[in-house]
Amino acid sequence: MKKRFLKLITIACGLGVAPLGFAANCSSTISNNAVANLTVPAGATCTLNSTSVDGNVNVLNGGSLILNNSSVSGNVQANTAKVLKLVNSSVEGDVLAGQVSSTLSLNKSMISGNLQCSTLTKLQSSMSSVEGKTTGKCR
């Protein structure tokens, strides 16, 4: 129990440690690590630096996700996120950004699955690709 508590504190503080093999919540920064499924709490900002998510990412209402040199092997569910930003990063699954309220930014990044967004989503893309279908008004 004590080890698990220390791992949770480490995640919350964004300190680098050995790879994490469990689902995590992120409300600050995680660097040079690996996690299973990841949740960004409502209103929080999560920055992943050189980190891999071996599963899905769920960004709750008003939360923000910034991926720097990171990868997600599953989907990114960010329908009611404030900001979704990928820099030199990849998502193997789908990105659901149906009502991202501020910005969806792709810079030198790749989405292997589909990208879904709406008229509220402001897409900024530079040297990036979406291999699946792009649906909604984010073209």
Q: In which domain, by residue range, is 33 found?
A: 2-135
d(C-alpha 78, C-alpha 46), whole Å: 12
Predicted confidence at residue 39, as pLDDT, reads: 97
Predicted confidence at residue 22, as pLDDT, reads: 63
Predicted confidence at residue 13, as pLDDT, reads: 45
HEC readout, 2-54: HHHHHHHHHHHHCCCCCCCCCCEECCCEEECCEECCEEECCCCEEEEECCEEC
**What domain count does the chain have?**
1
d(C-alpha 24, C-alpha 20), whole Å: 9
Predicted confidence at residue 118, as pLDDT, reads: 78
Report the percentage of the chain scoring pLDDT > 90: 64
Predicted confidence at residue 122, as pLDDT, reads: 78
Say if strands 115-117 and 64-68 run parallel, antiparallel, or are unpaired: unpaired
For the chain (139 residues), the mean pLDDT of every run of 10, in chain order, is: 44 46 86 95 97 96 96 94 95 88 87 88 90 82
Predicted confidence at residue 70, as pLDDT, reads: 98
